[in-house]
């Protein structure tokens, strides 16, 4: 048995050595590393350099500009040239109604609306600022001794003028 084992080891070792020797001394030829064409990035760089040179050439004009016929920084009025008048009938003048008299209304602004639950639905309180004061009013209360609160909705308060009964609406903004 010793002879058989020894022969197997010797034959296996010889095969392994031959395999390693064949791999180390292969006859593969190495291709040459000469570059025959420029990579695309270099071609783009060259094109960019040509474009830069062309634009710089445009910045330096070769001929002097002609003197302008007018001074852009001086104003000189011209006499109005008469236009050829056409015989056009003037449009009829419409009677303009007289302007409404401007009523001096105090500047009032709706600042907010508060709402509480009541037995008959929500009870709203309007917060109105104006004339240097802050008014907390409900429906029927007076504001600035000139208005009475007519109705308060979720975002609008209607004020009734006590002088001529006109309605002024203030909305939340």
Q: What is the DSSP string of 64-100?
A: PPPPPSS-TT-----PPPPPPPP--PPPPPPPPPPPP
SS3 of 48, please?
helix
pLDDT at residue number 13: 95
Rounded to 5 degrees, what are φ and ψ at 127? -110, 110
Pair 149, 137: CB distance under 8 Å: yes
pLDDT at residue number 89: 67
pLDDT at residue number 101: 63
pLDDT at residue number 24: 76
pLDDT at residue number 129: 93
Q: How many helices (H) and strands (E) does the chain have?
A: 2, 7
Q: Which two tokens stand for residue 23?
A: 């791999």
pLDDT at residue number 161: 93
User: Which domains does the chain possess?
Assistant: 108-171 (2.30.30)
pLDDT at residue number 138: 94
pTM flag (> 0.85): no
Q: Residue 164 to residues 6, 51, 60, 119, 146: CA-CA distances in angstroms?
A: 131, 79, 78, 34, 10
Which residue positions in the chain have pLDDT lower than 50? none
């Amino acid at each position: 048995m010793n002879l058989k084992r020894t022969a197997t080891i010797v034959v296996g070792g010889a095969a392994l050595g031959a395999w390693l020797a064949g791999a180390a001394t292969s006859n593969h030829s190495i291709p040459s590393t000469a570059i025959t064409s420029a990579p695309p990035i270099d071609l783009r760089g060259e094109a960019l350099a040509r474009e830069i040179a062309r634009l710089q050439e445009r910045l330096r004009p070769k001929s002097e500009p002609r003197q302008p016929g007018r001074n852009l920084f001086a104003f000189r009025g011209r006499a109005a040239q008469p236009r050829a008048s056409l015989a056009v009938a003037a449009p009829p003048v419409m009677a303009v109604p007289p302007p409404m008299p401007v009523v001096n209304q105090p500047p009032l602004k709706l600042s907010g609306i508060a709402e509480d639950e009541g037995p008959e639905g929500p009870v709203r309180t309007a917060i109105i600022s104006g004339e240097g004061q802050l008014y907390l009013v409900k429906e029927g209360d007076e504001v600035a001794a000139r208005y009475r609160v007519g109705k308060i909705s979720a975002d609008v308060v209607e004020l009734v003028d006590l002088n001529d009964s006109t309605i002024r609406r203030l909305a939340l903004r």
